[in-house]
């Protein structure tokens, strides 16, 4: 048994303002190559937990290790890539230069950067758009560029905070498929925050269901759908069983706080 | 005709049309007021409002005997004033930007210095100019004598808008983008150059457009206490004295001064188009 990529033990986070307990005594371990979704209604702390893993927020108590280092050291060593709900591409940079940004930060030389950016553009199917500026791309293409930027330096861990939340359903399903094929090729570990049940079940190897006030883990569902997954997976009876299982966990723990129902 | 050219042509035509319309309104006003004999708010005659063609003709004639045409004189004076304003503008822009960057990084310095910097702008430039001339001129090397002090006065007027907008612009960086830079373990310096400064550019250029015209005003006013005769400020003082006899020369000078201001503005606008790459909806 190999070491966990992310290990979260007894993590609690309270925000002084409003005296909110965003996370309470969270325990979770992520093994290499896992695709773990965090799902729950707004206010359940799923984004907070992601930020604690990325050392963008410090926990009030408890410890997080990433690659057997403190979260802080892992961030400084650039052990993870991150994708937000907005693409957060810099307007003043072309798509290629946006993808190259983390490589510049790592001090790669121009030629090496150019090569990697070309590979990344191919990976996310953006060939020919390198010289475009972000605002010239559709929302889906912007998010693909953002994923390419997060993966450009081959981090072992990928943190995704509702990356497809702002996209329309069709684009979202297509990007789900693309993300899966990228993940299968690269074998990285993914933490994926979402409020879509079907998306979580379709993508993940495990779904962590969270409930709010205080934010805690309501249950974990192992997703045993066969791999590789494709469009037909969404029609598999087992898919519906798992979706129901996740939904029931959400319902049991937060009667009055259901996430938006999915059009299945 | 290629699209950009025809667009430029249309714009030039629009500017020309407005110019013709303004001249027309001016002449219409003169005609109505003189025919009706109205004296409110002032009596219209060839001194208070000279005809457009009188002003136009003045450009072609010498202002004094044995001198070249007024337009030649004003052209050289405009060049002199432009040199002061360009140097003043550049100096003011650099000082404003650097001060903005420094103050953006220290709340303490910002709290301490900002009130005085604001106060500096409430003092009329005319009250400061003589002191600047007295302080700066003796230290300047030969070729900078005289006009160098005026450039400093122009800089005094231009640095402030640049400082304020740089401060605001550096703080305009998106919170998510700052988080992203944090995930790269970016130091202050990289955050500044790769994120904050590019994000500030639309704000900085808004200020540079203000500063472009302010630097011309600063240079013209700065020439007055310096006793410089070679620039537009000197010309304005001079033609002021003859206004009751030959008003058209002051009007002609004012038109040239305005043209210099417009030219500066357009140059900054052009630079902005090249430097600032933003989504069309985010362009100020």
Residues A115 and A97 in one domain: yes
Residues A6 and A66 in one domain: yes
Q: What's the pLDDT at B1?
A: 52
Q: Does B188 touch chain A (CB under 8 A)?
A: no
Average pLDDT over residues B78-87: 96
| Phi, psi dihedral angles at B67 (to 5 degrees) | -120, 155
* Residue A240: inside a domain: no
- Evaluate whether A6 touches A30 at the Cβ level (below 8 Å): yes
Domain boundary pick from A116, A139, A154: A154
Chain A positions contacting chain B at CB under 8 Å are 54, 56, 75-78, 80-82, 84, 86, 88, 90-92, 101-102, 104-105, 133-135
For residue A237, is pLDDT > 70? yes
Nearest to A47 by CA among A16, A17, A15: A15
- Other Cβ atoms within 10 Å of B109 Cβ, number: 13
Q: Among A77, A88, A135, whose Cβ lies nearest the Cβ of B176?
A: A88
Task: Compare all CA atoms of chain A with the CA of B173 and give the residue at the minimum distance.
Answer: A90
Residues A135 and A188 in one domain: no
* Residue A241: inside a domain: no
Count how many domains chain A has. 2
B195 chain-A contacts, CB cut-off 8 A: 90
Separation of alpha carbons B128 and B146, rounded Å: 16
Q: What's the pLDDT at B281?
A: 65
Handedness of CA B150, B154, B157, B162 (dihedral sign): negative
Separation of alpha carbons A144 and A190, rounded Å: 16
B181: closest CA of chain A, how far (Å): 9
Q: What's the pLDDT at B225?
A: 84
* Residue A113: inside a domain: yes
Residues A163 and A95 in one domain: no
Q: Among B179, B276, B282, whose Cβ lies nearest the Cβ of A56?
A: B179
Domain boundary pick from A135, A154, A173: A154
Nearest to A85 by CA among A182, A196, A216, A180: A196
Q: What's the pLDDT at A19?
A: 79
For residue A256, what are the CA distances in angstroms to A180, A247, B252? 33, 13, 77
What percent of chain A shows pLDDT beyond 70?
A: 95
Domain boundary pick from A99, A131, A154: A154
Q: Does B195 touch chain A (CB under 8 A)?
A: yes
* A228 preceded by a cis bond (ω within 30 of 0): yes
* B41 preceded by a cis bond (ω within 30 of 0): yes
Q: What's the pLDDT at B126?
A: 85
**CATH code of the domain occupying B55-282:** 1.10.3720.10
* Residue A198: inside a domain: yes
Domain locations in chain B?
Answer: 1-49, 55-282
Query: Which range of residues forms the domain containing residue A8?
Result: 1-79+156-235+248-257
Which residues lie closer than 8 Å to A222 by C-beta, 6 or more apart? A205, A206
Joined tokens for residue B26: 């001016």
* Residue A243: inside a domain: no
Task: Compare all CA atoms of chain A with the CA of B179 and give the residue at the minimum distance.
Answer: A56
Task: Compare all CA atoms of chain A with the CA of B274 and give the residue at the minimum distance.
Answer: A92
- Residue A203 CA, chain-centre distance (Å), reads 10
For residue B14, is pLDDT > 70? yes
- Other Cβ atoms within 10 Å of A117 Cβ, number: 22
List pLDDT tens digits, range A74-120.
999 999 999 999 999 999 999 999 999 999 999 999 999 999 999 99
Q: pLDDT band for position A263 (50/70/90)?
A: very low
Q: pLDDT band for position A251 (50/70/90)?
A: confident
pTM of the entire predicted model: 0.86
List pLDDT tens digits, range B184-236.
999 999 999 999 999 999 999 999 999 999 999 999 999 988 888 899 999 99
Residues A146 and A163 in one domain: no
Residues A111 and A133 in one domain: yes
CATH number of the domain within which A59 lies: 3.40.50.300
* Residue A12: inside a domain: yes
Residues A69 and A192 in one domain: yes
Average pLDDT over residues A171-194: 92
Separation of alpha carbons A228 and A180, rounded Å: 8
For residue B57, what are the CA distances in angstroms to A222, B21, B62, B78, B248? 90, 19, 10, 19, 9
* Residue A15: inside a domain: yes
B171: closest CA of chain A, how far (Å): 15
For residue B137, is pLDDT > 90? no
Average pLDDT over residues A147-153: 93
* Residue A84: inside a domain: no
């Amino acid at each position: 048994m190999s070491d966990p990529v992310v290990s979260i033990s007894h993590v609690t986070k309270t925000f002084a303002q409003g005296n909110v307990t965003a996370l309470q005594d969270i325990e979770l371990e992520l093994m290499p190559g896992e695709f773990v979704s965090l799902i729950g209604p707004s206010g359940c702390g799923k984004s907070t937990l992601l930020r604690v893993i990325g050392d963008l927020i410090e926990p009030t108590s408890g410890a997080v290790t990433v690659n057997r280092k403190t979260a802080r050291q892992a961030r400084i060593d650039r052990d993870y890539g991150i994708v937000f709900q907005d693409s957060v591409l810099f307007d003043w940079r072309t798509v290629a230069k946006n993808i190259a940004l983390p490589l510049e930060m790592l001090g790669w030389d121009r030629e090496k950067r150019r090569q990697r950016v070309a590979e990344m553009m191919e990976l996310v199917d953006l060939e020919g758009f390198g010289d475009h500026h972000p605002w010239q791309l559709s929302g889906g293409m912007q998010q693909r560029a953002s994923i390419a930027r997060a993966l450009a330096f081959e981090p072992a861990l990928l943190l995704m905070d509702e990356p497809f939340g702002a996209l329309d359903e069709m684009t979202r399903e297509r990007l789900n498929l693309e993300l899966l094929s990228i993940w299968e090729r690269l074998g990285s570990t993914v933490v994926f925050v979402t409020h879509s049940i079907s998306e979580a079940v379709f993508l993940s190897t495990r779904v962590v269901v969270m409930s709010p006030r205080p934010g805690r883990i309501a249950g974990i569902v192992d997703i045993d759908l066969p791999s590789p997954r494709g469009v037909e997976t969404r029609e598999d009876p087992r898919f519906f069983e798992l979706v129901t299982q996740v939904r029931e966990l959400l319902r049991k723990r937060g009667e009055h706080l259901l996430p938006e129902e999915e059009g299945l | 005709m290629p699209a950009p050219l025809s667009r430029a042509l249309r714009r030039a035509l629009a500017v020309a049309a407005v110019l013709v319309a303004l001249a027309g309104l001016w002449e219409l006003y003169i005609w109505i007021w003189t025919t009706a004999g109205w004296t409110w708010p002032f009596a219209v005659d060839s001194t208070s409002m000279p005809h457009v063609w009188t002003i136009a003709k003045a450009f072609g004639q010498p202002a004094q005997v044995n001198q070249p045409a007024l337009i030649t004189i004003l052209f050289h004076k405009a060049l002199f004033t432009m040199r002061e304003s360009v140097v003043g503008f550049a100096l003011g822009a650099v000082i404003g930007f650097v001060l903005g960057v420094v103050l953006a990084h220290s709340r303490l310095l910002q709290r301490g210095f900002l009130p005085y910097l604001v106060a500096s702008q409430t003092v009329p430039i005319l009250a400061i100019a003589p002191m600047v001339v007295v302080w700066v001129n003796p230290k300047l090397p030969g070729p900078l004598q005289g006009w160098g002090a005026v450039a400093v006065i122009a800089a005094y007027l231009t640095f402030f808008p640049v400082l304020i907008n740089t401060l605001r612009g550096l703080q305009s960086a998106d919170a998510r983008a700052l988080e992203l830079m944090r995930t790269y373990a970016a130091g202050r310096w990289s955050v500044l150059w790769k994120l904050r400064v590019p994000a500030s550019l639309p704000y900085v250029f808004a200020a540079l457009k203000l500063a472009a015209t302010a630097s011309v005003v600063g240079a013209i006013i700065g020439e007055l206490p310096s006793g410089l005769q070679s620039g537009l400020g000197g010309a304005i003082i001079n033609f002021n004295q003859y206004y009751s006899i030959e008003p058209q020369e002051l009007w002609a000078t004012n038109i040239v001064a305005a043209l210099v201001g417009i030219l500066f503005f357009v140059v900054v606008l052009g630079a902005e188009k090249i430097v600032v790459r933003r989504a069309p909806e985010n362009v100020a």
